[in-house]
Structure 1
Amino acid sequence: MIQQLINHFLKRKEVKEIITILEKASLELRFVGGCVRNLLMQRKITDIDLAIKAHPDEIIATLEKNKILYDDFAKKYGSVIAHLNKQKFEITSLREDINQQGRHTNIRYTKNWKIDSQRRDFTINSIYLSSDGTLHDYYNGQEHIADQKLQFIGDVEQRVQEDYLRIFRYYRFLGCFKNPKINKEDEIVLHNYCKRALQHLSNELVRKEILKMFDNPFPIHSFCNNNNKLEKNFWVMATKENFILHNYKPGLTKCLNKIEALF
């Protein structure tokens, strides 16, 4: 079943086209992130991420040669966004993040797929798919999808300190599972850093992440207390307090009100 889904994905018109363009230039690529995760969870795929063993300048040169429209505003982070018809591909050079602190990071390019995988947040988001249909899973992400388990890659506290948005991404991805397995020790760390995260992240960034939670099949798991499904999670209450403190009306009237409707 999974192999059939993979084959179907790789035969999509725009997917075949981007593979042909990049591989014709001898650039080694793998799909990664949400597109592979959603493929394995049999969910709709929208944006498509590619990891590639090439420098951004090589990517841009290849796209220009083939008259492919692109955006390079994230080039300093190794990313170029290609547009084929109405499909967007975010193409990112293999890299490692160094001296990362609270969403600010320096990068160093690499040719090693495993090193690239280490910078990703959760095991379910670190599964790579080659153009020949081979899956490369360095952290048992497929097993964790089957077990409905959301697991950080590496030390939880360190990963949160590197990027505070990972707290909210954690709760977003809980909504992917019907019966998510919760690690209480992880939640303690997230609880301890939640208010600090809200001090460092913009309200708009947090609001956007919350709205993405409603796109999942089981959004209630993102917002409720795991011990009491009728009680909101601590992060929801902390976020509400922060939005009120800053009189952030878009968050209060176009975001948190949607959460209230679930309870």
Structure 2
Amino acid sequence: MTRLNAPFLDDPALKRVLAALAAQGAQALVVGGAVRNALLGEPASDVDISTSARPQDTVRLAQAAGLRSVPTGIEHGTVTVIADGRGFEVTSFRRDVETDGRRAVVAYSDRIEDDAQRRDFTMNALYATASGEVLDPVGGLPDLAARRLRFVGDPRARIAEDYLRILRFFRLLAWYGREADLHALAACRELRQGLAGISRERIGHEMRKLLDAPDPAPATALMAEAGVLALVLPGADASDLPELIEVEREYGTGALPCWPRRLALLGAAGAAQALRLSRDETRAQHLIAQALRLPAPQAAYRLGRAPAAQAVLIRAARGDRPAFGWCHDLARGAGAQFPLAARDLMPDLSGPALGQALRRAEDAFVESDFTLPRQALLRIALQHKAEN
């Protein structure tokens, strides 16, 4: 028997919810990612609960225990039960009756085996009792031990239930897998066109999480081989991604976010639209693209230190390693102060001529590596007036 030694099992709020659901004999189990991560020795974020109680019984049992419930997804069998100010998603055991590739019609079940069969991957179909006993209805424990990502049952059937599972396959492979099931890869390749019916928001959500993995390069390479990467990000080239991961490890990334840099490296021109990036995310991609066209200090001066640093790492992955002291160069560029203002050129210049003169002087300041003094810049700014 495998037992789970996880801190969340000692959580008083979770204990209250599990006890409330089991008060009249129903099964109440922690399921999915929390169990998987605990067995891998990794932190668990959300703790989800699966139960043999029907949704209306979940509401009734929670109320009897003095807990509040919210019908957040009751049409799909999910009720959020709140204990000590925190919500736990509680979903009734289900089995699929009908699917269309995006959503499923389900019926409730009393059997954990039925519930496990409708889950996506074997390592996600692991359950734990309140005492920590792990239940494994579909053989997920050996797969988890081998870091082998395998669909529950027939991979084509699982994908046909929700084509987004193709991207979930590669995302979970990046985070938790070392070995991809060959039947799963073949099914992802064969059914990849089903992703055309998935919203770009959902695709973008998965791709952000995939590219945020510690090392998404192997999974992304398999995506490219399966024809999935080109489908969701036309024009993307993942060939330099392994080098970028090495560069990140060598130089460090500080507080810079990972996925925007890695997405910029892929070079997909239509990424913002394909992944439904937000306005801020799209602007960040544009800034990195501009920074790649400038020397690092100039990029830091004109665009900010963060996009300039992202560009340095991308260029390093492409073979242009930065010189020693590049961090100092970025800081110097970001901190440089152009010593002229419009008032310094007035009333000698005004209107468009004033703006052109300032830009001319600022360009000279940047080209001098921020060394030209104020008087020299004034002469440059006013030289056209003197010539005329």
The question of a shared fold, defined as TM-score above 0.5 by the shorter chain, is answered with yes
- The CA deviation at 1:214 is 4.3
- Give the counterpart of 2:234 among 236, 241, 263: 241
Q: Alignment partner of 2:72: what SS?
A: coil
Q: Which runs of 4+ in 1 moved over 6 A?
A: 260-263
- 1:111 and 1:4 map into 2 onto residues whose CA distance is 24
- 1:215 and 1:224 map into 2 onto residues whose CA distance is 15
> Which amino acid in the other structure matches residue 181 of structure 1?
E
Q: Alignment partner of 1:175: what SS?
A: helix
Q: Alignment partner of 2:149: what SS?
A: coil
- 1:62 and 1:23 map into 2 onto residues whose CA distance is 9
- The CA deviation at 1:135 is 1.0
> Which amino acid in the other structure matches residue 107 of structure 1?
V
- 2:152 and 2:199 map into 1 onto residues whose CA distance is 25
What percentage of residue pairs aligned between the two structures are identical?
24
- 1:53 and 1:249 map into 2 onto residues whose CA distance is 37
**1:43 equivalent in structure 2:** 42
**2:180 equivalent in structure 1:** 182
- 1:245 and 1:175 map into 2 onto residues whose CA distance is 20
Q: Alignment partner of 1:211: what SS?
A: helix
- Relative distance call for 1:145 and 1:50 in structure 2 (3 A) is same
Q: Looking at CA atoms only, which structure, 1 or 2, has the larger radius of gyration?
A: 2
> Which amino acid in the other structure matches residue 116 of structure 1?
D
- 2:21 and 2:212 map into 1 onto residues whose CA distance is 31
Question: Structure 1 or 2: larger strand share?
Answer: 1
- Relative distance call for 1:241 and 1:67 in structure 2 (3 A) is farther
Q: Alignment partner of 1:83: what SS?
A: strand
> Which amino acid in the other structure matches residue 67 of structure 2?
I
- 1:145 and 1:214 map into 2 onto residues whose CA distance is 22
**1:73 equivalent in structure 2:** 72
- The CA deviation at 1:186 is 2.4
- 1:232 and 1:85 map into 2 onto residues whose CA distance is 48
**2:130 equivalent in structure 1:** 131
- Relative distance call for 1:164 and 1:116 in structure 2 (3 A) is same
Question: Structure 1 or 2: larger helix share?
Answer: 2
- Give the counterpart of 1:200 among 197, 204, 208: 197
- Relative distance call for 1:70 and 1:210 in structure 2 (3 A) is farther
Structure 2, unpaired ranges of 5+: 236-267, 289-310, 318-388
> Which amino acid in the other structure matches residue 204 of structure 2?
R
| Correspondence list, 1:164-179, <5 A | 164-177=163-176
- The CA deviation at 1:105 is 1.4
- The CA deviation at 1:67 is 4.3
Q: TM-score, normalised by structure 1?
A: 0.84
Which structure has more relative contact order (CA 8 Å, sep 6+)? It is 1
Query: What root-mean-square deviation, in Å, do the aligned CA atoms of Structure 1 and Structure 2 show?
Result: 3.1
**2:219 equivalent in structure 1:** 222
- Relative distance call for 1:62 and 1:216 in structure 2 (3 A) is farther
Q: Alignment partner of 2:234: what SS?
A: helix
- Relative distance call for 1:245 and 1:172 in structure 2 (3 A) is closer
Structure 1, unpaired ranges of 5+: none
**Stretch of structure 1 that moved more, 211-220 or 113-122:** 211-220
- 2:275 and 2:230 map into 1 onto residues whose CA distance is 16
- 1:106 and 1:189 map into 2 onto residues whose CA distance is 23
Q: Alignment partner of 2:5: what SS?
A: helix
Conserved 8 A contact 2:204-2:274: no
**2:113 equivalent in structure 1:** 114
Conserved 8 A contact 1:177-1:217: no
Q: Alignment partner of 1:224: what SS?
A: helix
Q: TM-score, normalised by structure 2?
A: 0.58
- 1:173 and 1:86 map into 2 onto residues whose CA distance is 30
